[in-house]
Homo-oligomer: A and B are copies of this chain.
Amino acid sequence: MPDGTGKARTRIQRRNRDLILEAALDVFSTHGFRGATLDQIASAAGLSKPNLLYYFASKEAIHADLMSGLLDTWLDPLREMDADGEPIAEILAYVDRKLEMSRLYPRESRLFANEILQGAPRMLDNLQGELKHLVDDKVRVLLRWMDAGQIAKLDPHHLIFSVWALTQHYADFDVQIRAILDDADPFDAAPNFVETLFRKLLRPDS
């Protein structure tokens, strides 16, 4: 039995665990936890179902493994927003990083969206803990920038929500957007649009 908790040791273990997680990301992100089946994941990974369960204790364990690093990765762009940088540039860079994540990791975005949509049964603690603390911290930074007149005075929480909404929408609603844009790649015009939007939004009134 491979070490479930520790790090995979042999090359074959590492390779198969990666195969499984890659396949599981595909399946979980498009069907949600309940809607996904081990047979789908096994088939997508090119392994047999018992072989899957040789590397992971259960369906839950595969999902948990995927989720464990997800929130951290997802919040990294916000974490990097520097309180000592130039406010507008910092926020725009944050938006840009976040949009880039939607472009490069749409499956991860949908995995996250699925979890939240379904009431975040396996992540609520992390939202109320890790996520809330980071947001509270950055809200204080934003408030300071607003008080200093460096950016427009807005509700800082909803400002952050608007970044999430606008950027993640391109990953989560990809199918809908592409149905409307026909051939054009959404990400051709999206970066310019969201940058313009936040520039106008953040420009101080005075």
Residues of A whose CB lies within 8 Å of any CB of B are 30-35, 110, 113-114, 116-120, 124, 127-128, 131-132, 135, 152, 154-155, 157-159, 161-162, 164-166, 168-170, 172-173, 175-177, 179-182, 189-190, 192-194, 196-197, 200-201, 203
Contact = CB atoms under 8 A, between A and B. Distances in A.
B117 A180 contact: no
Contacts of A196: 154, 201
Contacts of A190: 158
Contacts of A165: 165-166, 168-169, 173
Q: Nearest 5 CB-CB pairs, A to B?
A: A34-B35, A165-B169, A127-B179, A158-B193, A35-B35
A54 B14 CA distance: 51
B155 A124 contact: no
A196 to B, nearest CB: 7
A195 to B, nearest CB: 11
Contacts of A110: 117
A201 B175 CA distance: 26
B33 A179 contact: no
Given A35-B35, A169-B169, A189-B155, A179 B132 contact: yes
